[in-house]
Amino acid sequence: MWRLKNMKNRKQMLLLFLGIILINNCLITILKANSNFTNGLELGTQIYEVKHFDEITWKNTVNFTKNPNHWFGGEANIVGAKSKLTIEGWYYTNFMTSVFFATFFYSNKTLSLFPIVKSYGYGETYINEYYSHYYTVCSYDYHYWPFTTGEFDIHPSYDMEHSMFMQNPQEFQPIFENYNEFAGIITNDTTLQSLNISFPFLTGDDFMWQFVMNRFVVGTPINDYLTTMLNVLESKNVTIQDNTLIFQRLGEQNYTVEVTYNKQGIMETFNVKNSEGYTIYKITSSYPKTVFFIIVGIIASSVLGIVILFVIKKNYVKDTTSNRKTKN
């Protein structure tokens, strides 16, 4: 009787074990199917530098009253000014729609109006109930130092900040549509209208510009990730070449902005050109870790070259001596 019961328990355990393996394999298959993009971030610091700024051409082409400070803050209008971004760590998590609205879609003005909107019943609870969906993201922690011509402070200007990137860029489409629908609800509310409160509708081009100016990172492969974003957002005036986004914009005149991403998915260069292709403003960057490995590589190659020459010379001397002894 005990043996029968024991055998029955073993069969149940075996079935349970096989079931767990089957479910686990299914989950892995599903995750692989939905994980075409990966996190390319590394712990380290990206250092940015203003390399070029033609103020007169900027005023005549981009904006007569606003300079690069209005885009990047600090002393971004001075050639030689530097800023830096340090990635401290990251983790994967799920967030509901309201978090994505606040992170990716709200402008500074919208964020300032949100407490009022919330007081009239359109807060996070309303958004999450109306658009009840969770999205998987990579949430990362960073420190940022604004552009300065002086030395960087030992401590950053801000406490540790947090941001995120979407694991699957195709999911920008439903959130984008949900935001514009929500903006319509706010704008059409008669009470909020009487307070002169509205939320702006965004085009795909608007969103991509906010995305770049807020320096969000992207997943890898970079080109595929950006291409997917442009397609789902139906951007009209933004194209992609390799890992570079190219914006066609209108200020005082037509101009273009080229934004290139490095292998980590972080903005690497920012280049503003007029319609004739003349560079008006340019930011470049470096990644000290990369420079370090280049230096190490050069040193290693030099040492290896010296060793090879030494071995060749030694063998040559040895062969010469041996030949002399043979002749004698």
Identify the sign of the CA torsion 121, 127, 131, 134.
negative
pLDDT at 306 over 80: no
Confidence tier at 122 by pLDDT (50, 70, 90): very high
Burial of 217: CB neighbours in 10 Å, binned 0-12, 13-18, 19+: buried
What would the pLDDT profile of 174-233 be if each residue is shown by its tens digit?
Answer: 999 999 999 999 999 999 999 999 999 999 999 999 999 999 999 999 999 999 999 999
Instruction: Please compute the mean of the pLDDT values over residues 273-297 and round it to a whole number.
Output: 74
Residue 61's CB is within 10 A of a number of other CB atoms, namely 23
- Angle, in degrees to the nearest 10, between helices 172-188 and 222-233: 40
Read off the pLDDT of each residue in 291-302 and give the average, rounded to a whole number.
38
Contact yes or no for 258/268 (Cβ under 8 A): no
Backbone torsions φ then ψ of 260, nearest 5 degrees: -105, 140
Specify the DSSP element, H or E, that contains 51. strand 44-53
| Least confident residue range of 58-62, 244-248, 264-268, 292-296 | 292-296
Select from 236, 235, 284 the least CA-distant residue to 259. Answer: 284
CA-based nearest residue to 271, from 261, 263, 283: 283
Measured in degrees and rounded to the nearest 5, phi and psi for residue 226 equal: -65, -40
- For 33-42, 45-54, 78-87, which range has the lowest pLDDT when averaged over its residues? 33-42
d(CA 200, CA 187): 8
CA angle 221, 227, 229 (to 5 degrees): 105
Which residues lie across from 165 on neighbouring strands? Answer: 138
Confidence of residue 320 (pLDDT cuts 50, 70, 90): low
pTM of the model: 0.75
Return the sign of the alpha-carbon dihedral for residues 218, 221, 227, 231.
negative
Four-CA torsion 117, 119, 120, 124, nearest 10 degrees: 70
Q: What ranges do the domains of the chain cover? A: 1-33, 44-292
Return mean pLDDT, the chain: 83
More confident residue, 163 or 51: 51
Q: How far apart are the first and last CA of the chain?
A: 97
**8 Å CB contact between 53 and 68:** yes
Helices H / strands E in the chain, number of each = 11, 9
